[in-house]
Amino acid sequence: MSVYDHTATNRDGSTKQLSDYQGKVLLVVNTATGCGFTPQYEDLERIYAAYRDRGFEILDFPCNQFAGQAPESDDEIHEFCTVKFGTEFPQFRKIEVNGEGADPIFAELATQMPFQGFGKGLKAAALKKLADANNKQFGDKAYIMWNFTKFLIDREGNLVARFEPTASMAEVEKAIEAQL
């Protein structure tokens, strides 16, 4: 299956065909408003503004499966992101990324490119403990380890990179530039 075979649900409940993004470089990310990584929205918007005219899109999927860090309604999440961070990239309805109700796009992307760790350092070690405790409930369907996991898709719809939330945004941006 290709990323283009999937659909997403817009905040208004309508369906968006991901094939509408064919030919663009995509960054698919699960997000949350109350996460320690929430400030990444600022970098995401900066990157989006810098590259969207070159055929780049960020597809934002809020998720509340990690310590309840996105409890708000879809409209409240959208308002928070646009007011606090000025986000303009597409933001879809809140989804699940793990378990039986996992959105198929995240299950597929994470199966194609499984979790390889959070990296090194105290932050990575602390996050691993939180993620392991949180994701026990999902067993073999714990596809995503924490909020702000990012998947980079090339212009042909191929998954080319996975970035855990601990990856530097400079590294993410460099990979996006390489695809553009």
DSSP-derived secondary structure letter, 95:
B
Residue spans of beta strands (DSSP E) within 37-165: 56-62, 150-153, 159-163
* Long-range contacts formed by 136-142: CB under 8 A, 24+ apart: 137/99, 138/98, 138/99, 141/98, 141/99, 141/100, 141/102, 141/107, 142/98, 142/99
Q: 63 an active-site residue?
A: no
User: Are the CB atoms for 132 and 98 separated by under 8 Å?
Assistant: no
The Cα 75–Cα 85 span in angstroms is 15
One of 35, 59, 81, 145 is an active-site residue; which one?
35
Catalytic residues: 35
